[in-house]
Structure 1
Amino acid sequence: MNKIHGMIKGTLIVIGTLSIVLGVVGIFLPLLPTTPFLLLGSACYIRSSEKLYKWLIEHKKFGIYIRNYQEKRGIPLKIKIFSIGSLWLSIGYSALFIVSSIMIKLLLFTIAVGVTIHILSLKTLK
């Protein structure tokens, strides 16, 4: 059982680290969202490494994104607009030009609607 537990922890650390890297890349690439990747990274770290989770939460640049979300303070309006715009551009492009299956297109649009509702339901930071 310990070996399986160790493998799960290791996998979560790898996924968390990849998510953090994608979040950092998202700062510079407009179509890649930062906050969701940082949140995924923190979720993986909290289940696998207290040290990495603490580092991320206390990081002077990334920690604020996660703390604001976790403490339900909200997210800035600019981030909401950018997130929703990026979401719809990327999912719209994929659904219209990449995916051929009607079911997958419907699934993509359903996900976009759900994520949009979630983002809009968060408080807006001033």
Structure 2
Amino acid sequence: MSKLQRTLYTSLAGVSFGLGIVGAFLPLMPTTVFMLLALWLASKGSPRFAGWIRRHPRFGPPIAAWENERAISRQAKCLAAAMLLLSMSVITFTLDSLLLRSLLIPFLALVGLWIVTRAEPRS
């Protein structure tokens, strides 16, 4: 892999990690998706950065649970479900397009169903 490719992967990993941090505070931004994407991108461009993400005190344990067990903590499930419900409410009351509402709300409900049916970490 060329230096340019590694730099691109690492840069995108940094952007994704930053978006994940933003997602920890904004209800419509998914933290976990961006953190997993950041980890994948970093593993391609900078194994040191990937290791740092895995060892991060806040984001490392949920990533390890997902990588090792495909598990999501009960707290994360509850938070995700609450944020998805909030998002569906916002969409219901603010989006004028019936077509978009009828596509987005069932999609978010299915995402929520998928999340809550994942296993919980054993440890």
Q: Same fold (TM over 0.5)?
A: yes
The percent identity for this pair of structures is 24
Counting only pairs closer than 5 Å after superposition, residues 1-126 of structure 1 correspond to structure 2 as: 6-7=4-5, 9-27=6-24, 29=25, 31=27, 32-72=29-69, 74-98=71-95, 100=97, 102=99, 104-125=100-121
The one-letter code of the counterpart of 1:26 is G
Aligned equivalents of 1:20 and 1:44: distance in 2? 10
- TM (norm. structure 2) is 0.75
- TM (norm. structure 1) is 0.73
Contact 2:16 2:38 in 1 (8 A): yes
CA drift at 1:86:
0.3
Q: Decide whether aligned partners of structure 1 residues 92 and 48 sit closer, same or farther in structure 2, where only a CA change above 3 A counts.
A: farther
Aligned equivalents of 1:121 and 1:78: distance in 2? 13
CA drift at 1:30:
5.2
Aligned residue pair count: 121
Query: What RMSD in Å do the two structures reach over aligned CA positions?
Result: 2.8
Gaps of at least 5 residues in structure 2 are none
**Structure 1 residue ranges, 4+ long, deviating more than 3 angstroms after superposition:** 9-12
